[in-house]
Structure 1
Amino acid sequence: MSYMYVAMISLLVGGLMGLLQVLARSGEFELPWGINYYTILTVHGVILALVMTSFFIIGFQNALMGKTIGFSKKQLNWAWVGFWIMLIGTVIAAVTILIGKANVLYTFYAPLKAHPLFYIGITLVVVGSWVTAAVNFRQFYLWKKAHPNEKSPLLAFMVIINMLMWCIATIGVATSMLIEIIPWSLGYKNTINVLLSRTLFWYFGHPLVYFWLLPAYMAWYAIIPKVIGGKIFSDSLARFSFILFLFFSIPVGLHHQLTEPGLDSTWKFIQVILTFMVVIPSLMTAFSMFATFEITGRKKGYGGLFGWLKHLPWKDVRFLAPFVGMLAFIPGGAGGIINASYQINTMVHNTIWVPGHFHLTAATTVVLTFFGIAYWLIPHLTGRKLTDAVNRLGIYQTILWGVGMTIMSTAMHIQGLAGAPRRSNFSDYGGTEQAAEWGAYQMAQAVGGTILFFAILLMIFIFIKMIFFSPKGEQEFPIAQEEDHAEPTPKWTENWKLWIAITLVLILFAYTVPIMDVIQNAPPGSAPFDWPIGS
């Protein structure tokens, strides 16, 4: 619950910053009190993309581990250590942003330089997550030791995959922080290898997307079937899809750097190919989910080609919110293919198309699934019931979110195709030809963003109501069982040494030569501009 409190406070703060952004970009609203546009942009990105997601995910995963394999007192104490380290880091980073000393966007690209405390705070968030990961690994190891011939619980298996991916990926951003960025921001170094820092960031930045997505997949695979009265289509397929995500989520960061000079085009192309491999487990997931929906409907007696759709509990927000997220992932995934395509990427790279894509995937697919989880997890943890009234409010909130995001994201995509840059305050273009061309899209984003902010306020109201005002009782923790006649799960799915070895080999193959090139061929004085702090 402590993780959930931080996540919801972050949602409110980050959402307010997003509202101010879209209003300022519309050209019809001026930020009050001399607020810097790039300050609120940085707050919005860091608080929502890094803080809100990380706290919700780790809290949710701890709930899954506690429910499936249990916590010892010692493990729980260490889990609290991880939480407090993350929270302290979050507060330090947030303060430096809010006082205008870290206007560096959530990607914190050099040569933009923030106050050292910003980087130290973000690093503490990562370190705290490592402590929690170590607790999860220890829990899983002890469970396997006590149950040597048993298949591990599916949700525990999925948590371990996600935390393995996270730990391997965050080595990149931690290395960049400790070796380059923090010494540079402290004044111990006058220059920095900009390309190396960006390459290490995107080594982490792309698996960050899957760190957001895989907990949503956990709910889709193993919780939604229970909510709709069905069973898991295939335990084996679910595990294998997560193993493939572990393989192909990390060695693909160069597809975020396709337009950057200094990186060999051959290695960019290789990583583009590896990126497209992620389509396979994504399609496996889509197949598994709709197979679950259809089989459950057939068992309930619904015939016809699409008769099974009728059985789905459309009036249950625990299902509706994640299902709307699933639908958003269809255009979101298509946009991701465009972003990762070697040549088509040049048309949309660094345009507002890219934030439009993020708002479909992270801010709709992932966040709506998280909301769907919250509707049963919060009452379960607080000993209360999900009432009909809260369920109805949740349905309204889901509809508001879907409508607002559709309007805003569509406008972003169209404006991006027209060449509008990302990370820019379009009110600065006032009176220009671009302002006239983009005006309608900017207003659409303001309308969509305003609707989204009302949806956020409604979610916060629902959160408070579930904690303090819902009637006391027991709320189900819905974990589905596997289909009765499903094929048994092969033991090789838990060959952890093999999966980790393959992951490391793929990473070494994809990154060794590019990083050596970046280091060996760095120009003298890689970042000659020692920019003022906070610039």
Structure 2
Amino acid sequence: MMNSNKLEKVDSRDAKLSMAYFYVAFIALALGGLAGLLQTLVRSGKVVLPWGIDYYQVLTVHGVLLGLVLTTFFIMGFQFALISRTTGTFTNGARITGWVGFWLMTIGTAMAATMVLLKEASVLYTFYAPLMAHPIFYIGLTLVIVGSWVAGGSMIATYAKWKRNNPGKASSLLTFMAIINTFMWIIATLGVAATVLIQILPWSLGLVDTIDILVSRTLFWYFGHPMVYFWLLPAYMCWYAIVPKIIGGKIFSDSLARLSFILFLLFSIPVGFHHQLVEPGIDPAWKYIQVVLTFMVIIPSLMTAFSLFATFESFGRSKGAKGLFGWFRKLPWGDARFVVPFIGMLSFIPAGAGGIINASHQMNAVIHNTIWVTGHFHLTAATAVVLTFFGISYWLIPHLTGRVLTKAMNKLAIIQGIVWTIGMSFMSGAMHAAGLLGAPRRSSFSEYGGAAQAQEWIPYQIAQAVGGSILFIGIILVLIIFINLAFFAPKGETEFPVGEVADGAEKPPLVFENWKLWLGISAALILFAYTIPFIDIIQNAPPGSKGYKFW
């Protein structure tokens, strides 16, 4: 293993690889954010899209670029940097593999985006059949997935090499977290890869006339829910192991952090049916079982909240804080590296509460397929996750480019976090409220005309447009900061903050890195949750269920 001094900075060759992923991620943010602004303006009823642009076209651009491209590219770039910093510089072979993954993902993104822009793939980011896109769209998405497997394989191989050279030693906490997230992603994407390659692509190519809609949706949601945790776990990495260093504190418990990530691996995948609670053809008993497994994920979330606030309180007490909440005033409120992710942490409290409602059978029936669900996604992915990603960028980008975050950019970053919070309060709040009134998701509402119920939604649609406009200002601020930190900020050294474990904390048991055990349990849970209901779906498909009329 390399000595600790050499691990303090990411190797320049690894930094270039990470930055390549970040460039694509922030381009996706710019284009996807513009599409999101157009959506909210159209829903307000005050704007008509010019030049023949279709509402569902911009809806697809927004979902694909922000939900799939921005997140996947950012996470890959972040994890490459984490592993290089905490485990050691990548070998030439591993680095080349990372570049192969990058180009596969980038080419795939370009192919899918081109088809959307040509109006050949206005199928939303869920691309539910019987909506059909051009085959190139599906081939492009497949390349994105395969590219992420190649990149993830590079990370796993680097970790495995370190373990072979360091038998009996626990890996770095951040590397462990990145490997958990990579394993989860690879397992989850098997579902979407299967439905695209085996079902949808042959259908799009005209090789088959029909497909089984319920099978395709089941395979998608096998992937769709753990995708949310693929977004979330990098934010948890920052909260658990980087924010403590930024504030000057210590990680409350290394073992607790590792255990929470293992629980996410086990309980994030076999729960897709809770997205299909109103769909026929799935035995209610299996829906119930998967709802129970879904609620198991609440446990590591509560563990995370306990650990984080224990870290904050311990730090505050060490600075002389007294009283129940005296420690709160001791936190570094002038440091964007802390403030922006902290806003993301707080937003996850109402986001988690909304998730409990979404996964509850009775309450889900009230809000299913309403814009409430879209509001929930914007609290989780577009606030808790994305704000944390922005906070990471404010120190990671200058670290990788050999520059510094100036006082002016730090102040602008805090303003950006506040602007984002205000915009999301308007937009997500209005979405939740309109959803309770029955306003549908995935709709411009134009087809409802002057219906009395649609009139109730108008104030909330206007509020969404106001919020979306404020959020777009927040995106412009982020892009200004990113461009500055990547190209124009003063040259210098920026710390890559890696937290230290609190004195007296227990060393993590080696069983946490027994991958045969944890991957075996994960596979067993998936087989238990899906095998019998999947066989039942196929065997008992009614006549016509493999065509369009069933959907």
TM-score range, shorter chain: over 0.9
Partner of 1:59 in structure 2? 77
Give 5+ residue unaligned stretches, structure 2: 1-18
In 1, the alpha carbon distance for the partners of 2:214 and 2:547 equals 13
Whether the aligned pair in 2 keeps the contact of 1:26 and 1:426 (CA below 8 Å) is no
RMSD: 1.1
Whether the aligned pair in 1 keeps the contact of 2:270 and 2:293 (CA below 8 Å) is yes
Amino acid at match of 1:112: L
Deviation at 1:515, TM superposition (A): 0.8
* 2:271 pairs with 1:283: no
CA deviations over 1:40-61 (Å, ceiling 9, x no partner)? 0011001100000000000000
In 2, the alpha carbon distance for the partners of 1:443 and 1:30 equals 14
Deviation at 1:518, TM superposition (A): 1.2
Whether the aligned pair in 1 keeps the contact of 2:398 and 2:494 (CA below 8 Å) is yes
Q: What pairs with 1:350-365 in structure 2 (closer than 5 Å)?
A: 350-365=369-384
Task: Tell me whether 149-158 or 272-281 shows the greater mean CA deviation.
Answer: 149-158
Q: What pairs with 1:178-257 in structure 2 (closer than 5 Å)?
A: 178-257=197-276
Deviation at 1:160, TM superposition (A): 0.7
In 2, the alpha carbon distance for the partners of 1:445 and 1:221 equals 33
* 2:475 pairs with 1:486: no
* 2:471 pairs with 1:446: no
Partner of 1:369 in structure 2? 388
In 2, the alpha carbon distance for the partners of 1:429 and 1:448 equals 23
CA deviations over 1:227-284 (Å, ceiling 9, x no partner)? 0001110000000000000000000000000000000000000000000000000000
Q: What pairs with 1:41-190 in structure 2 (closer than 5 Å)?
A: 41-70=59-88, 71-190=90-209
In 2, the alpha carbon distance for the partners of 1:48 and 1:530 equals 31
Helix, strand or coil for the counterpart of 2:210?
coil
Deviation at 1:138, TM superposition (A): 0.5
Amino acid at match of 1:59: G
Amino acid at match of 1:240: L
In 2, the alpha carbon distance for the partners of 1:513 and 1:404 equals 45
In 2, the alpha carbon distance for the partners of 1:151 and 1:191 equals 51
CA deviations over 1:325-351 (Å, ceiling 9, x no partner)? 011101000000000001110000000
In 2, the alpha carbon distance for the partners of 1:13 and 1:118 equals 18
Amino acid at match of 1:10: A
Whether the aligned pair in 2 keeps the contact of 1:111 and 1:527 (CA below 8 Å) is no
Partner of 1:407 in structure 2? 426
Amino acid at match of 1:291: A
Helix, strand or coil for the counterpart of 1:184?
helix
Partner of 1:38 in structure 2? 56
Size of the aligned set, in residue pairs, is 531
Amino acid at match of 1:39: Q
CA deviations over 1:50-107 (Å, ceiling 9, x no partner)? 0000000000000001111120111101100000000000000000011101111111
Residue of structure 1 aligned with 2:34, choices 2, 16, 27: 16
* 2:44 pairs with 1:26: yes
Whether the aligned pair in 2 keeps the contact of 1:3 and 1:83 (CA below 8 Å) is yes
In 2, the alpha carbon distance for the partners of 1:74 and 1:436 equals 60
Deviation at 1:133, TM superposition (A): 1.1
Helix, strand or coil for the counterpart of 1:34?
coil
Amino acid at match of 1:33: W
- With the length of structure 2 as denominator, give the TM-score of the two structures: 0.95
In 2, the alpha carbon distance for the partners of 1:428 and 1:257 equals 25
In 2, the alpha carbon distance for the partners of 1:263 and 1:530 equals 18
In 2, the alpha carbon distance for the partners of 1:433 and 1:530 equals 30
Whether the aligned pair in 1 keeps the contact of 2:427 and 2:468 (CA below 8 Å) is yes
In 1, the alpha carbon distance for the partners of 2:381 and 2:126 equals 15
Whether the aligned pair in 1 keeps the contact of 2:105 and 2:143 (CA below 8 Å) is yes
In 2, the alpha carbon distance for the partners of 1:179 and 1:527 equals 14
In 2, the alpha carbon distance for the partners of 1:525 and 1:43 equals 32
Give 5+ residue unaligned stretches, structure 1: none
In 2, the alpha carbon distance for the partners of 1:89 and 1:518 equals 32
Task: Tell me whether 421-430 or 361-370 shows the greater mean CA deviation.
Answer: 421-430
Classify 1:428/1:268 alpha carbon distance in 2 versus 1 (closer, same or farther; 3 Å).
Answer: same
CA deviations over 1:4-40 (Å, ceiling 9, x no partner)? 1101000010000000000001001111111100000
Deviation at 1:525, TM superposition (A): 4.1
Deviation at 1:530, TM superposition (A): 9.7
Whether the aligned pair in 2 keeps the contact of 1:229 and 1:296 (CA below 8 Å) is yes
Deviation at 1:529, TM superposition (A): 3.6
CA deviations over 1:450-503 (Å, ceiling 9, x no partner)? 000011011111111112221100000000110111112112111111000100
Whether the aligned pair in 1 keeps the contact of 2:439 and 2:454 (CA below 8 Å) is no
Amino acid at match of 2:231: W
Whether the aligned pair in 2 keeps the contact of 1:27 and 1:430 (CA below 8 Å) is no
In 1, the alpha carbon distance for the partners of 2:184 and 2:496 equals 26
Q: Identity of aligned pairs, percent?
A: 66
In 2, the alpha carbon distance for the partners of 1:149 and 1:516 equals 42
In 2, the alpha carbon distance for the partners of 1:61 and 1:4 equals 11
Partner of 1:309 in structure 2? 328
In 1, the alpha carbon distance for the partners of 2:540 and 2:549 equals 21
Helix, strand or coil for the counterpart of 2:537?
helix
* 2:401 pairs with 1:382: yes
- With the length of structure 1 as denominator, give the TM-score of the two structures: 0.98
Residue of structure 2 aligned with 1:499, choices 482, 496, 518: 518
CA deviations over 1:176-198 (Å, ceiling 9, x no partner)? 11110100000000000000000
Helix, strand or coil for the counterpart of 1:344?
helix
- Which structure 1 residue ranges, 4+ long, deviate > 2 Å from structure 2? 427-432, 523-531
In 2, the alpha carbon distance for the partners of 1:427 and 1:324 equals 35
Q: What pairs with 1:325-340 in structure 2 (closer than 5 Å)?
A: 325-340=344-359
Deviation at 1:528, TM superposition (A): 3.0
Whether the aligned pair in 1 keeps the contact of 2:212 and 2:547 (CA below 8 Å) is no
Amino acid at match of 1:23: L
Residue of structure 1 aligned with 2:285, choices 261, 266, 270: 266
In 1, the alpha carbon distance for the partners of 2:385 and 2:242 equals 15
In 2, the alpha carbon distance for the partners of 1:362 and 1:159 equals 18
